Structure 1
Amino acid sequence: MSERATSEPITIRTAKVSEIDALANAMDRSRNYIVNQAIEQYLEANAWQLERITTGIAAARSGKVIPADEVFSGIATKHGWER
């Protein structure tokens, strides 16, 4: 089902408009399509990060953490580094 569109004026730096237009032209898409895809991807990425941060904070508050030395040692061992 397609969503209803609304119009919202925004300000974009001139250099970015040129980049958007170049990408739109290369992809044979409209400026509107590129901007809406960028917004959608930005919101998805930030929602994902916020969910992980919230989960991590809850785990830390409940004591479900690994001491930093253990984490660093595990990374060093995995890559064959000395600590």
Structure 2
Amino acid sequence: MSTQSTTVSVRLPKTVEDDLIKLAGHTQRSKSFLAGKAISAYVASELEIIEGLERAEADIQAGRVVSHEEAMKRLYKTARGG
């Protein structure tokens, strides 16, 4: 995480908070630290998916596509080591 931070309030089910408290105790980290790490990982993962879809859409719009049949041929060729 960066050295700059901000505060965000979130609502959690009680069971999740209980587990977060348990995890904080086991890891010697604060609930806030663990929640921040979890949110950071989730946001990064979701943005990676969205950005991949945007790149795919740009490829489609630019005509950078192959047919399903061609893709499967390439996949099988690679799988066979050739």
TM-score normalized by structure 1? 0.77
Structure 1 residues 46-75: Cα deviation after superposition (integer angstroms, max 9, x where no partner): 122211110110101111011111222333
Give the fraction of aligned pairs with identical amino acids, expressed as a percent.
Answer: 16
How many residues matched? 79
SS of 1:43 mapped into structure 2? helix
The runs of 5 or more residues in structure 1 that have no matched partner are none
Please give the residue correspondences for 1:1-83 in structure 2 after superposition, counting only pairs within 5 Å: 2-8=3-9, 10-79=10-79
Runs of 4+ in 1 over 3 A off after TM superposition: 76-80
Aligned-residue CA RMSD in angstroms?
1.9
Instruction: Flag structure 2 segments of 5+ consecutive residues without an equivalent.
Output: none
TM (normalized to structure 2)? 0.78
Q: Distance in 2 between matches of 1:73 and 1:21?
A: 51
- Asked which structure has the greater RCO (Cα within 8 Å, sep 6+), the reply is 2
